Amino acid sequence: MKNTYNPLSSSIRKKLRQILGKRFLETQEDLRAYSVDASPHSFLPEAVALPESAEEIAQILRLAQKEKFPVIPRGAGTSTTGATLAVKGGLVISLLRLNRILEINREDLVAVVEPGVFTGDFKRAVEEVGLFYPPDPASYEFSTIGGNVACGAGGPKGLKYGTTKDYVLGLEVVTARGEIIFCGRRTMKGVVGYDLVHLFTGSEGTLGVITKLILKLIPKPPCQATLALWLEDTEKAAKAFLEILKAKLFPATAELLDDTTLLAVKRFLEKEILRAQALLLLEFDGAKKQVEEDLLQAQKILKNFGLKLEVATSKQEREKLWRARRLISPALKKIAPGKLADDVVLPRSKVPEFLSFAKNTGEKYGLTVACFGHLGDGNIHVNILFEKNDEIKAQKVRVEILNKVLDLCGTISGEHGIGLTKKGFLPKELSPEVLSLMKGIKQVFDPHNILNPEKIF
């Protein structure tokens, strides 16, 4: 979607200062801080806004609509796809100052929060009153609720509990025209009109700016236990998990770490871990008796699959096992200067074939491909590691891997969104008719394409 934008003139800047005061940033030092996210890209915005209310955001968007300058909503900047970058310049709107937990209702099992609340802080606040917010992206300690919703984030517990989109009941949104609207509800059910809540969820800030959220909560499971299976290869891990499902066991999480990932974590920790080519982490939760029964049955199934089986029931023991999973991203950055990261989703039955293909494709080009992620729902994080001179090779590996995902009836993104890095692959997964319909929806919500331009399409 191509548009011509106006720069932030002195008169526009004056009006923005009137709205924001000292919370309008324009020094080079400030702009550089907002020119990057967790993707490999960098674009310098013309200015940054730090609003503290939906009304301030509405004033900004009314001005942007009139003056035709781009506006880029931003949470904590953890996007791996460049979704928060100012590709066309313009104004970055940071939502970190809208950071209040407004309500946690134990009777209705809902919470009302602002988008700048960090997900980890929210999860802990909910658990303090005996409730549970299951979505747990790996970045939950430093990503925001608003960012999670905008990108449709997932996490390990997606297997049993679903992803972020399954917990969004209602949204307050500022439209491109500067209107503050509310869509959705506080109730668990509701089919009045079109489902705008789930249209905004996962839209990456291209349809509106989320300023308040109503989220569904559930009772906190009373018991949790983790089972770790060390194996000789990743395909065996995937097959072992399929046997768990065939036995009608339903863990809360099922995570996979391959050999490269385990090696990276070992180097990062600078300590020895068991020599194995793969690690399968299963977590069961629920009533204590049921968890104990599930653990026993799972151990019987898995005992002949791996090199070693560990069970952790205390919080300290479980944290020790899960630490390796949480350290993967920083660990991989230390073993290669270049990394292309994708999150793809396969039908569970196709995961073993895909894992083999990804490794073999990397080897064909002389590169290493690390695979880890949410085996439970088929969401595999593929990381192509390369030296500085091998980026062209890495891009070729990426194309072959993403094409294979589609050949296996998978999807090119499960929780990171499209942003900048995957928009070229959209026509491979979506038909021209569907793309045209999506662009038409964007045109209705944002006729001048001022909201997060160059993302998705």
Domain coordinates in residue numbering, the chain: 101-219, 223-329, 336-419
3-state helix, strand, coil in the chain (%, to 5): 40, 25, 40
**Residues 328 and 265: beta-carbon distance below 8 Å:** yes
What ranges make up the beta strands (E) of 260-337? 278-286, 308-312
336-419: what CATH class? alpha beta
End-to-end alpha carbon distance in the chain? 7
pTM of the model: 0.94
Give me the pLDDT at residue 273, please. 66
Q: What is the pLDDT of residue 166?
A: 98
Among 159, 132, 155, smallest CA distance to 143 is for 155
Per the DSSP assignment, residues forming a β-bridge with 183 are 171
* pLDDT for the residue 1: 64
Cβ contact 148:138 at 8 Å: no
How confident is the model at residue 227, as a pLDDT? 96
d(CA 214, CA 145): 11
Nearest-angstrom CA–CA distance, 174 and 299: 51
- Looking at residue 291, its amino acid is V
Measured between alpha carbons, how far is 143 from 12 in angstroms, rounded to an integer?
31
One-letter amino acid for residue 365 of the chain = Y
Type of residue numbered 269: L
User: According to the model, what pLDDT value does residue 269 have?
Assistant: 75
Class of domain 101-219: alpha beta
Task: Establish whether domains 101-219 and 336-419 are of one fold.
Answer: no
pLDDT tens readout for residues 104-140: 999 999 999 999 999 999 999 999 999 999 999 989 9
Contact (Cβ atoms closer than 8 angstroms) between residue 386 and residue 341: no
Q: In this structure, are residues 173 and 181 in contact, taking their beta carbons and an 8 Å threshold?
A: yes
* Neighbour-count burial of 10, counting CB atoms closer than 10 A to its CB (0-12 exposed, 13-18 middle, 19+ buried): exposed
3-state secondary structure at position 396: helix
CATH 2.40.50.70 corresponds to the domain 223-329: no
Considering only CA atoms, which of 78, 76, 156, 150 is closest in space to residue 118? 76
Q: What is the pLDDT along the chain (457 residues), one digit of tens a residue?
A: 678 899 999 999 999 999 999 999 999 999 999 999 999 999 999 999 999 999 999 999 999 999 999 999 999 999 999 999 999 999 999 999 999 999 999 999 999 999 999 999 999 999 999 999 999 998 999 999 999 999 999 999 999 999 999 999 999 999 999 999 999 999 999 999 999 999 999 999 999 999 999 999 999 999 999 999 999 989 899 999 999 999 999 999 999 999 999 999 888 876 666 678 999 999 999 999 999 999 999 999 999 888 889 999 888 888 888 888 888 988 898 889 999 999 999 999 999 999 999 999 999 999 999 999 999 999 999 999 999 899 999 999 999 999 999 999 999 999 999 999 999 999 999 999 999 999 999 999 999 999 999 999 9
Q: What is the largest CA-CA distance in the chain?
A: 72
In angstroms, the Cα distances linking 185 to 173, 287, 321 are: 13, 31, 39
Q: Edge to edge, what strands does the sheet with 180-184 contain?
A: 101-105, 110-113, 209-216, 168-174, 180-184
Cβ–Cβ < 8 Å for 426, 456: yes
DSSP track, 124-189 = HHHHTTTEE-----TTTTTSBHHHHHHHT---TTHHHH--GGGGEEEEEEE-TTS-EEEEE-SSS-
Amino acid identity of residue 210, one-letter, is: I
Spatial contact of 267 and 331, defined as CB atoms under 8 Å apart: yes
C-alpha–C-alpha distance, residues 400 and 410, integer Å: 14
